[in-house]
Structure 1
């Protein structure tokens, strides 16, 4: 479902001059973000700072976080809570923030979001088919819960992750033809459940050491490579329905979870074939899905797909930082800087379209999330 980027390596000056706002008071809505710590709008030669990453996260929470529900609104009007699966992605972003800062306030937010989900979604009762009606909705939370356990060692998070994985595996896995069904009625096998299942299994394998998780990850990855992956160019299909050919639609989160699944298996097995797949998927995203300047696609025209690049951000970071594929770093920084440069400077929020100024009216949290995710994950080039 993603579009791939045609790389434009913009070389950053070694001595980047950072401009800071000392006094700024812009009233454009009922709420205001104090931008004093954030840099002025970037020029092509400038890069974002740690202060900018903090300002971006704070602005996102100011406009989208509901401290009563302890979950995120769907838009700046703050009239409803965002979609169930996107809350898990926002929780990931909060964890990225805590990893970046180590601040107890950020750790408290991590715990709070768990509680918000617990209160909103029937205590993470995976058998509740009113709250949970698509398998991948559960699996995004399974991944986030496992990650939260790794950060906090709270055993409740691990128990919920394990039980969620078991529930999905029980009803989604096809023991005859392989692969994971996306919907409860088994209409098709989508990338958005298969690759996340591999990632969840690998996280639980890393935590528990239980080889069964590794075996499941290998099984689903092999099916996905056979049915959802174009080995010649790294394109990931969105879905496979019955005996029909794979449905190829480009989405960044499918490219990203393919990359993440491959990197995690590479780390566990030391098999270069997995790393080769990850590189192919990243190359496709960079060279085919992005625009002529290397900017990632503006997915999510007033829908939940605005969150897709937030998922991609996590797994391209994994490829760069943990699999030593530094060739993608400049491309990613170009995207981050473009997103931040085009933010709404009055509110401090960014948009899904990194190439154009953020709208000043109603904006969805989905649309604003990916730039924030990238900025928490990738350290600034300079302090």
Structure 2
């Protein structure tokens, strides 16, 4: 090769590298300021949903005919996790305190173990759902790893004790969906159950937590994992029929369960499985550039994707997720600044988007997206 040809090749290489870096930088710069977005949405949510006089939240921004006076517990499960993620972004804040105070209004000390009702007993006692309680436990344990507060570890242990009252050997194991309903065992009560157990294992190093987590993990994969490494909704233990709906939050919890098990055991097969789950989730739930499911369901998926990124450094799935978020911000924000143009705006969806935005803001700060 002549000197001229060599120089020409070198300059062409530098040119294409510069173009590539410019395009990469441009894609980053075109991202919304997620920190600003979450701050604005949080203020708007408090304005429309928080009832300062009673210390509760309402279910919808505009009261629906069938609404109860205050919200169910599920939206608070979304808000407590969002508050934790916001405290990561603003380390000197205390967003969780307000939500914690409201959640305690749903406390029910009834046997066999204290837990949280789906609706506050001061109005009307309703069912206790294992998954509702688990979401609270997960947020509390995430907070514990961040700030070391005994309050949060105590909450994690309380949720563990309650959720295990829903475990038995029918159909070979697994946790029921709600207390007193012995019909179905669901991915939404087993996936987050594994995470609570793994969080407690990380916090205490008690091997019994790991053993129980593995038991539930193996049961869930045996009965509810699809051939594509996504997850079905439930097993009817009376009939053996599988409810084959696939939701992003179920896949998200099992994705994160694999990452936790990799961290605990150093067995790389769990990390490989997590990567397969993430790839399928990316294709199925995010594949056309917009969210297939509601915002909170996707927030749970993002938890798993973020946790996986910690070990792989591959931000492909996070970028696909951010693209869907950007699409939603551009096309599904109403005139009040809340998420949802075409249907009644409920609190769980707003909580889900708050968590998504806070997580993306934190990742944006770290240069991950």
* Pairwise same-fold verdict (TM > 0.5): yes
- Does the residue aligned with 1:133 lie in a helix, a strand or coil? coil
Q: Which residue of 1 aligns with 2:247?
A: 251
Map 1:1-383 onto structure 2 (within 5 A).
14-15=25-26, 45-77=30-62, 80-104=69-93, 107=94, 109-122=95-108, 126=114, 130-174=125-169, 177-183=172-178, 184-230=180-226, 232-242=227-237, 244-290=240-286, 293-299=288-294, 307-344=296-333, 346-351=335-340, 358-359=341-342, 362-379=344-361, 381=364
Distance in 2, matches of 1:181 and 1:120, equals 20
CA offsets 1:52-109 (integer angstroms, 9 cap, x no match) = 23223332333223345545321112674322133122100011001111133xx1x3
Q: Give the Å deviation of 1:331.
A: 0.2
- Does the residue aligned with 1:238 lie in a helix, a strand or coil? strand
Q: Give the helix-richer structure, 1 or 2.
A: 2
Q: Number of aligned pairs?
A: 329
Contact 2:225-2:232 at 8 Å conserved across structures:
yes
Where structure 1 has 5 or more consecutive residues not aligned to the other structure, the ranges are 1-10, 19-44, 300-305, 352-357
- CA distance 1:348–1:146, change in 2 (3 Å): same
Contact 2:256-2:305 at 8 Å conserved across structures:
yes
Contact 1:145-1:158 at 8 Å conserved across structures:
yes
- CA distance 1:316–1:72, change in 2 (3 Å): farther
Distance in 2, matches of 1:345 and 1:127, equals 36
Higher relative contact order (CA 8 A, sep 6+): 1
- Does the residue aligned with 1:247 lie in a helix, a strand or coil? strand
Contact 2:140-2:156 at 8 Å conserved across structures:
yes
Q: Give the Å deviation of 1:210.
A: 1.1
Where structure 2 has 5 or more consecutive residues not aligned to the other structure, the ranges are 1-21, 118-124
Q: Give the Å deviation of 1:337.
A: 1.0
- Does the residue aligned with 1:57 lie in a helix, a strand or coil? helix
Distance in 1, matches of 2:217 and 2:279, equals 19
Once structures 1 and 2 are overlaid, which stretch shifts more, 244-253 or 150-159?
Answer: 150-159
Distance in 1, matches of 2:214 and 2:327, equals 37
Q: Give the Å deviation of 1:141.
A: 2.0
CA offsets 1:236-256 (integer angstroms, 9 cap, x no match) = 011112262432211111011
Q: What's the C-alpha RMSD, in Å, of the aligned pairs? A: 2.9
Contact 1:16-1:47 at 8 Å conserved across structures:
no
Distance in 1, matches of 2:23 and 2:185, equals 43
Q: Give the Å deviation of 1:146.
A: 2.2
Distance in 2, matches of 1:133 and 1:284, equals 32
Distance in 1, matches of 2:249 and 2:102, equals 25
